[in-house]
Structure 1
Amino acid sequence: MARRRPKYQVRGGAAAAGAPPLLVLLALWGAVGLAYLFWVAAWAAAELAGGRVGEFGASWTLALVLWETETTWPGVSTPLVVLLFAPMSALALAAVWLLLKVAHRLVYGQPDAVAALNKGNATIAELARPEAAEKALRLRKHSLRKQGRRNRRAARLPEADVGLVIGDVKGQGRGKGPRLFASWEDTVLAYMAPRAGKTTAMAIPYVLDAPGPALATSNKGDVWAATASLREQSTGERVWLFDPQHVTHQQRDFWWDPLAGVRSVEDAYRLSGHFVLTIDDDSKKDMWGPAARALLSQLMLAAALGGESLAKVGEWLHDTKLPQPVDLLFEHGFVAYAEALRETQNIVAETRDGIYTTARTAARCLDDPQIMAWVTPANASVPAFEPREFVKSKETLYLLSKSRAAAAPLIAALTDAVFIAGEEASEGQGGRLDPPLVAVLDEAANICKIADLPDLYSHLGSRGIVPVTILQSYRQGVRVWTENGMEAMWSAATVKVFGAGLDDHKIVEALSKLIGQHDISTTSFSYGEGKGNHSVQLRRQEIMQGSDIRRIEKGECLLFATAAQPALLRMRPWYATGRAGIVSAAIKKAEQSITTEARIGERLRSGRDEADGRGFSGIDGATAVGGSAQPPPRG
């Protein structure tokens, strides 16, 4: 906050002399100062070339004004005096000008927003060393157990073990303050426009620094390209790539069964919610959405109980009279669910068709054989992904899908399955995963629409699961989770990050009010009847107005953390760190793999290259980055 200056007013008298007398006085003293500089220059010339200089005073100054050099500096070269006077006077004028600017800024200048926001911000100390390192040791007492004194261990703790780096507190000019971290019990919510640093400063570093299992969602292959091979090398454990829409053109070397964890009505209803949430037509979702979700949950539960795959649910959705799912529910004791499904099958045709059509729209991925290959049983050489094993490892899982594509429900379902497995595993570890699971949900509002994500935010951090949900705007989240859902997520997120590109005027104005106000001074001066009137008054104003927040530079962000004053930070993208070289090399290698496999896939699809024996069934046949995985047999 700015230093408070008391309001004051001075009127009349010598202290408030008018502008003309003041200017005359300043002009007189300025002339005296220049005359003295001439005397100093003459004295220096006399020392260098010989001669003498008269004593400085009124008579000497008068002689200088009349340019009587024989009186002012007899025997001294006048050109030499002028040559010395020129730089001396220039330096003196520059010094006076800077002094006046500093004095004006101290008395009348307005405090800088960065200084007002970050200076003396003691509330963020918990997010910086050494407090953040001490907290990491407390939260990860098993995985970080070492010999030696506790404070020495905290001092030596690598940044990757302290927490997720948010950025450096911005100082005046190019200065910077302490580095701040999100702890291993925080839940992070970030709002950033495209190309504002969310991938380079958050997604990629967070995956690389994850001390345990890491999960990342994206609609592009950039995070996978930058981190997959490095994660495999650093952890020595497997990298999983779930890419049903061939964003990276890599092979499918595993499959996952979404129905494996479905054993109850609650399980089925939770799974079906990921599908219904992807319906783009809000009117259809509002009218038929609840009934469609109930229908999908009934069919999914029946398929799970009958040992069927998700593909069977797709078949049942296209026949509204099939008795098999009803019979399976009856056989396993889900009488009420069976009756509800049979009632849906037998209601009037218009209503039934509306429910089934909405359900088919939500589950349109079930009609795509290329997508379904990732969630249906394969031959024995292709392993199944087990979320319960994943959360106990240091493996990495990448979930890729194009924005608003058919595969999005499966991305959300697999992410949710990992969260559920993580919660279950934490109960067997004293209530917290150690090492923690880091889940970077980039493009969450487009490809990872977990229905109850706002509710999960209230307790994931306490389980050792650190979600980092990255959205382009607050309104983007409202379209998925509604206003109430986003308010719940906002309240539950312990670390909120706002980057460049915030254009929602309601949000920037709200942030401006949350940042707070500071004192600024206003000055006024008037002159009349030979008297001057000069006043300085203080008024309260927002430290950062909405327009200032909108103009946050790329690579910078506003940080709002629980119980801490907001701070303006400079983020730390991967290319500004010591590992820029190895990440760049990994990206280059991955991009070459993507290009090569994309060309092979194109030739296979066009039927121009069948001699290599690879075959093509809509799934690319590349060897995964790192070279450890082998192409599965093609059917």
Structure 2
Amino acid sequence: LAAGLVVVGHRILRGRHRTPGARLALSRDLKGLTSSRPVPGRLALGGCGRKLVLAEPRHSVLVIGPPQTGKTTALAIPAILDWPGPVLTTSSKSDVLEVSRAARARRGPVMVYDPMGDPESSVGWTPLAGVTDWAGAQGAARGLMSAHGALEGVNEASFWQASAEMLIAPLLLAAAASGEGMAAVIEWLDAGFEADPEVQEALEAADDDLATSAWRGVMGMEARTRTSVTATARTVLAAWWDPGVLALGRPELTPERLLDGGSLFLVAPTHDQERLRSVFAGIVSQMTRAVYDHRARTGRRLDPGLLVVLDEAAHIAPVRNLPELAATGPEPGIQLVSVFHDTAQISAAYGRRAATIIANHRARLYLPGIGDPDTLQQLSRSLGDTEQDRTQTSVGPAGTTRSTSAVARPLIPAHELRELPDGEALLVYGARPPARIRLRPWFTDRRLRRLARGEG
């Protein structure tokens, strides 16, 4: 002992903080978000004590959680049941439609787009609806390209993307002008250079010099380049080689029909999602673009706004402009809910834009059981550290001494985030401290059960 000090033990006093540091939210931190009853136009994110926790009007919501953790039953379905305005939702599950159909039918027409299901019970849609000029054709082409916008790891990705878009747009205008439909677009892509006279004739009938110039620009490319551009366009439009998709090419689904109190369910089984994602991304793009157009045309926000629930957002409709939609959609009247399994899934779909997508959603909900280490570590780091007193006891010649120093530890370590109890979620909302809230499955709420039965 005389040779020096010997550390015989130490302990961390978890309940004592030297400085405030990071902390979980207290009741006062949720001021403005809690209510004793539902508020029309504000999404219920869960519960805290006896009160509901509500998102601010139109604030974009990001939900991250693995399957079977309540993303659908506790968030998507309650939002759809309660929303006072039009609804657009994507899902691989028929239960979303089954549970909410009666409630939505009380508010307006219920439309289902399911190209792999019964064509008699599915609404028709074509990207040619509204394509009357070059601007409309460009917008439609951009929407179809939306699901293929990342192209991470592809050399000169922006060139191939822009070139394919420049090929698709004049084909859409030519098909719309000639009344041939999407079947003609597919035939022209198959024919390649041999389709030039027929497409030129259709574009001349449309009397649009810009479209004709764009078509000639692609046809004038070096043969190998043109072949690669055509191959990219074929990938984007691959769904229209499916008879089920072509059979639903009726112009029944329009923005006007949806935004006038309608509800649209886009349904795709898991094994068909990748093949159909251009179709669904095109629909989502067309409908959300109409909300922006309404704002520009009238100077007024759409009220009540359009609820957009992108369940399985990385697979069914990975729209290219999701970062912008999350950030700017609230202003014209879009309430966005984006649902992913983890941040790795966002990165796989959007590459370097993943962090922007996360940041642009004002409210972020993390559900139990997340298994991706990067998601857990990133979230734990973002929540910050808390300083705690560490008391060390030492024995030496002068006797026993105790010293106290500050030790930083994560507010919530990664393993504790993974082990969140079932039925709970961590809410990260803007600059507020994070809050643990209780999820609210629709079937546990008497009022939501009544809505699901079609009662008032």
TM-score, length basis structure 1: 0.62
> Post-superposition shift, 1:419?
1.1
- d(CA) in 2 for partners of 1:429 and 1:259? 25
Number of aligned positions between the proteins: 436
Q: Note the aligned Cα RMSD (angstroms).
A: 3.2
- d(CA) in 2 for partners of 1:212 and 1:460? 15
Query: 3-state DSSP class of the match of 1:159?
Result: coil
Q: Which residue of 1 aligns with 2:82?
A: 209
Check whether the contact 1:184–1:436 (CA below 8 A) recurs between aligned residues: no
> Post-superposition shift, 1:392?
2.5
- d(CA) in 1 for partners of 2:42 and 2:225? 52
Higher-RCO chain (CA-CA 8 Å, sequence separation at least 6): 2
5 Å-filtered alignment, 1:205-244, equals 205-232=78-105, 234-235=106-107, 237-244=108-115
- d(CA) in 2 for partners of 1:319 and 1:285? 26
Q: 1:198 aligns with which of 48, 71, 84?
A: 71
Check whether the contact 1:501–1:552 (CA below 8 A) recurs between aligned residues: yes
- d(CA) in 1 for partners of 2:369 and 2:165? 36
1:577 paired with 2:445, answer: yes
Q: Which residue of 1 aligns with 2:345?
A: 476
Query: 3-state DSSP class of the match of 1:305?
Result: helix
- d(CA) in 2 for partners of 1:347 and 1:516? 54
Identity of aligned residues (%): 27
What residue identity is the alignment partner of 1:127? Answer: L
5 Å-filtered alignment, 1:370-409, equals 370-376=244-250, 384-393=252-261, 395-403=262-270, 404-409=273-278
- d(CA) in 1 for partners of 2:205 and 2:452? 57
> Post-superposition shift, 1:244?
0.6
Please identify which structure carries the higher strand content: 2
1:350 paired with 2:224, answer: yes
- d(CA) in 1 for partners of 2:393 and 2:356? 51
Q: 2:390 aligns with which of 512, 522, 528?
A: 522
Q: Residues 496 and 259 (structure 1 numbering): CA distance in 2 closer, same or farther, change over 3 Å?
A: same
- d(CA) in 2 for partners of 1:572 and 1:471? 19
- d(CA) in 2 for partners of 1:389 and 1:218? 20
- d(CA) in 1 for partners of 2:387 and 2:217? 68
5 Å-filtered alignment, 1:89-100, equals none
TM-score, length basis structure 2: 0.85
Q: Residues 264 and 547 (structure 1 numbering): CA distance in 2 closer, same or farther, change over 3 Å?
A: farther
> CA deviation digits over 1:418-441, x for unaligned, max 9?
212223334566522222221111
5 Å-filtered alignment, 1:54-65, equals none
Check whether the contact 1:388–1:422 (CA below 8 A) recurs between aligned residues: no
* Structure 1 unaligned residues grouped into runs of 5+: 1-18, 20-104, 130-154, 170-175, 378-383, 587-635
Check whether the contact 1:402–1:447 (CA below 8 A) recurs between aligned residues: no
- d(CA) in 2 for partners of 1:524 and 1:467? 51
> Post-superposition shift, 1:408?
1.9
- d(CA) in 2 for partners of 1:429 and 1:281? 36
Q: 1:181 aligns with which of 54, 61, 72?
A: 54
- d(CA) in 2 for partners of 1:327 and 1:185? 46
> CA deviation digits over 1:532-562, x for unaligned, max 9?
3233333232211222223223332222222
> Post-superposition shift, 1:566?
1.9
Q: Residues 117 and 250 (structure 1 numbering): CA distance in 2 closer, same or farther, change over 3 Å?
A: farther
- d(CA) in 2 for partners of 1:459 and 1:257? 26
Q: Which residue of 1 aligns with 2:32?
A: 126
Q: Which residue of 2 aligns with 1:493?
A: 361
Query: 3-state DSSP class of the match of 1:204?
Result: helix
Q: Which residue of 1 aligns with 2:4?
A: none
- d(CA) in 2 for partners of 1:212 and 1:265? 32
Larger Rg: 1
> CA deviation digits over 1:392-428, x for unaligned, max 9?
22x2110111343432212111122221222333456
> Post-superposition shift, 1:509?
2.7
> CA deviation digits over 1:16-42, x for unaligned, max 9?
xxx9xxxxxxxxxxxxxxxxxxxxxxx
What residue identity is the alignment partner of 1:210? Answer: W
What residue identity is the alignment partner of 2:178? Answer: G
> CA deviation digits over 1:82-112, x for unaligned, max 9?
xxxxxxxxxxxxxxxxxxxxxxx9x944469
Q: Residues 267 and 476 (structure 1 numbering): CA distance in 2 closer, same or farther, change over 3 Å?
A: farther
- d(CA) in 1 for partners of 2:342 and 2:156? 22
Q: Which residue of 1 aligns with 2:415?
A: 547
Q: Residues 281 and 450 (structure 1 numbering): CA distance in 2 closer, same or farther, change over 3 Å?
A: closer
Check whether the contact 1:123–1:563 (CA below 8 A) recurs between aligned residues: no
What residue identity is the alignment partner of 2:200? Answer: V
